[in-house]
Amino acid sequence: MTSQLIEHELDQVEKKYGIDLSRGHKNTIEADETYYPQIEQDIKNEAAIMAPHYETFYSLEKTVRRLITATLSAAEGTNWWLSHRIKAELRKVAEERQKREIDSAVTPRSEEPIDFCTFGELGEIIKNNWDVFASIFSSIKAVERVMSNLNILRGPIAHCSQLADDEIVRLQLTMRDWFRLME
């Protein structure tokens, strides 16, 4: 996460001063100009500004999924998804999403049912299994607060809206809060 924040700051320096620090970044939209010739420059600029925040959240969400999987596997074994640890309703919803994706003839994003849970549902899994997560996190109330804040910040990132400067700071601070919970 620290590296991503540094990368973001370097991106801002490059934009502000119109320089290229030759860090190897490839602007995807420029590469796809043949396919998307009508995208206006302001939209391209917004996408470039938002890309690091998407990367940050993508990394966080993948990390949370891995943490849940590793923790519940240690507690219940490899069939943890089918154990009492995951509520039947959540299992059903995730498996329906997985089936819907398979039935749509697109490449499935994953074979793991947890990958079909929303970010909010991941927080519920942690709370519902506090007996095993209490050794990782300092407070269930703090986990609820941080996960709620992250879920709110996730909305604009996931739905192609630009984050206000205050929300960028809030995202950075909330990410720090998340990792502080595990100290």
Residue 26 clears pLDDT 70, i.e. is over it: no
Cβ contacts of 73 within 8 Å, gap of 6 or more: 80
Residue 9, pLDDT > 80, answer no
pLDDT tens sequence across 83-142: 999 999 999 999 999 999 999 999 988 999 999 999 999 999 999 999 999 999 999 999
Residue 46 pLDDT? 84
| pLDDT tens readout for residues 138-181 | 999 999 999 999 999 999 999 989 999 999 999 999 999 999 99
CA separation for the pair 178, 87 (Å, rounded): 24
* Domain ranges within the chain, ordered by starting residue: 2-180
The residue that leads in pLDDT, 23 or 105, is 105
- Judged against a pLDDT cut of 80, whether residue 6 lies above it is answered with no
Asked whether the beta carbons of 72 and 132 are under 8 A apart, the reply is yes
Convert the pLDDT of each residue in 32-54 to its tens digit.
666 666 677 777 788 888 989 99
